[in-house]
A and B are shown apart, each in its own frame.
Chain A
Amino acid sequence: MTATLRLPGRLLRAVREDLMRPHTFALERVGWIFARAAREARGVLLLAFDYSGVADEHYIDDQTVGARINSAAIRRALERALRSGDCVLHVHAHAHVGPPGFSPDDTEGLRELMPSFGAVAPHAIHGAVVLSDDRAAGRVWLPPSRDPNPARVVLVSPGLTICGGEP
C-alpha cells in the first residue's frame, strides 16, 4: 500500500515561515502538520489542512541535537489527535536545496515518538515530514506496523513537486 501526503501551498508557506524563525537556543524548530486520511485506488492519501508550531518555551536546551521538545509539546499534539482523530505529522526543515533525508537522530526520535500517536488515535495514520528549501521526504506508520514506510510527498503549489515513491 502506498501513502501519499499532499501539502497545499498556503499551508506549506506557513510551515516554512514558522520553522525558519530562529530560536533562543534550539538549532532548528519543529511543528505538527494535521491531515485527513482518504483512500485512493492504490493506497492512502494524507491531505494536510492545518499546522501548529511548537511554542518557544516547549524546547529543551540540548545542543547535541537540532531540536528537542518537552512532553507538554507532545501532549498538546496528542490531545488534538485524540480529540479530532486527525492524522498528525511531525515536521522539521533542513536548510538546503534538493532532496532532504531523515538523520539518524530523526529516525531514533521518531521511533520513540510515533507509537504514542498510534495509541491515542489508532485509526489515523501518523508520520513525519522533513522539508528542504524545495523538496520534502516523508514517512508514515501504517497500522498495525510499528516500522515506518516511505511516503510520497506532493507539494501542491507553487508548481507541483512530487517527492519520492512510485506514482
Chain B
Amino acid sequence: VSDRFSRQSFLGPGAQAAFENCRVGILGLGGGGSHVLQQLAHVGFTNFAIFDPDVANDVNLNRLVGATEFDVRWHLPKVAIAARVVKAIRSDANVEVHQCRWQDEPLALRGCDVVFGCIDGFAERREAEACCRRFLIPLIDIGLDVHIAEGEPPQMAGQVIVSVPGGPCMTCLGFLTEQRLAQEAAQYGAAGPRPQVVWANGVLASTAVGIAINLLTGWAGRNATIYFSYDANDGTVRPHPRLPFVDLRRPCSHYPDSDVG
C-alpha cells in the first residue's frame, strides 16, 4: 500500500494517516458527489458516510461516476454504486451507506469530521450548513448552474465554498441570500430538470477534494481560498470576486460560536 501513494508523498509524512483517520460525509451521490467520493478513495480516505435516497436512472448516466446500464436496469441505489466504486479502489474502506436524505440520519452525519455538500438548492444548503455549524464540522459545498438565454451560448458556472465553523458562512459570503431563498421557494416544483454535465462536475469535485486535502495537510498553505468561482465557458476557476469585500477575520454573526450541539 505504501507504494500506492508514493506519487503524493509531497503532501507530507502524516498525510496518509490523516486521510485514514478522517471520517468523510458526502451529501448527495449524484454527478458531484460520485466524483468527490471516487477521488477521495484514490487519495487514500477510507472512512465514509454517504447519503442519497435516489436510485440510478438513465438520465444519470451522462455524469454519474461508476454507474452502468446494468445499474439503471436494476434501479440500483446511487449510494450502492458509490460504495462499489470505493471498494473497487480500496477494498478495506469502511463505507457507511444511507439510502435516505441526510436529514433522516442525523447521528451518522454528526460523526463526520468533514462533509461535502453535493446537493441542489439554496434551502437545503442552508440546512446542511446550519447542521454542520452546530456540530463543528467543516462543510465543502459545490454547485453548478447552466443559464440558457435565447441567441446566446449557454453559460455554465459554479462555485466551491468552504464553510468552517467560526469563519464566514455562505450567507456572510453573499451566496445564500433571502432573495435567492425566496425565489427558490416560489419556483418549488416548477424548475424542471437541471442541466448537468460530467466535465464541469469534475472540475468542481476536484477543486473540493483539493480543499479537503489542504485542510488536512496544509500542503498549499493555511490561508487558502474559501470561495471559488468556476466559469466553464472560460475554463477558469478563480477566487470569487466578492471575496475581497468580505472580512474573513470577523466572526460569523449568523452562527455564533456558542450555538453548538
Contacts and interface: CB of A to CB of B under 8 A. Distances in A.
B224 to A, nearest CB: 9
Contacts of B105: 41
A154 to B, nearest CB: 6
Contacts of A8: 136, 165-166, 257
B107 A160 contact: no
B135 A38 contact: yes
A121 to B, nearest CB: 15
A161 B215 CA distance: 8
A42 interface: yes
Contact of A162 (B108, B113, B136): B113
A104 interface: no
Given A8-B136, A156-B164, A162 B21 contact: yes
Interface in A138-167: 154, 156-162, 165-167
Given A9-B166, A158-B222, A160-B216, A39 B260 contact: no
Interface string B45-61: 00101000000000000
A162 B22 contact: yes
Interface of B is mostly: loop
A49 B260 contact: yes
B110 interface: yes
A167 B110 CA distance: 12
Contacts of A42: 111
B178 interface: no
Interface of B: 18, 20-23, 47, 49, 96, 105, 107-108, 110-111, 113-114, 134-138, 164-167, 214-218, 222, 251, 257-258, 260-261
Interface of A: 4, 6-11, 35-43, 45, 47-50, 154, 156-162, 165-167
21 contacts: A8-B165, A8-B166, A9-B165, A9-B166, A10-B166, A38-B110, A38-B135, A39-B110, A41-B105, A41-B108, A47-B134, A47-B136, A47-B260, A156-B138, A157-B164, A157-B165, A160-B138, A160-B216, A167-B21, A167-B22, A167-B23
